[in-house]
Amino acid sequence: MNDIQKKLYDAACEVQKRAHAPYSGAHIGAAVLMSNGAIYTGCNVENASYGGTVCAERVALWKAVSEGAPKQVKEVMVISDADKPWPPCGFCRQVIAEFGSEDTMIYTANLQGKMKTFKFGDIFPEAFTPKHLD
């Protein structure tokens, strides 16, 4: 891991401990690096209605937006407590498409440090973006 990846990994691991996952048992943490160099974190927050559940990646991105970060995400780290790192779900990929680009880096890792690296355009080709609404 390079220095940025390590910072994102550490931040995601810390917030992953706060996940509210009484239904799935899957504790997820995420950290996003925005274009201004600031890192924002989020954890999954489950709800008994299931549909009210929010993923860690979306929490982190919405925090960035609500706290005034530039609306351009450069890198995303997703930490799971599973043996195999979990990628962002479809909903999260669509939110990343709103604030990222094909070149946004996506890292998935587990608590043992096993990590996979993707370019966003490779895991979500032909994403529907704000440009489609022009």
Catalytic residues, by residue number, are: 57
Would you give the DSSP letter of residue 37?
A: S
- The dihedral built from the CA positions of residue 51, 120, 30 and 60, taken in this order, carries a sign that is negative
Residue type, 113: G
Q: Measured between alpha carbons, how far is 130 from 102 in angstroms, rounded to an integer?
A: 13
Is there a contact between 104 and 73 (Cβ–Cβ < 8 Å)?
yes
Using alpha carbons, list the distances in angstroms from residue 84 to 87, 108, 116, 130: 10, 9, 10, 32
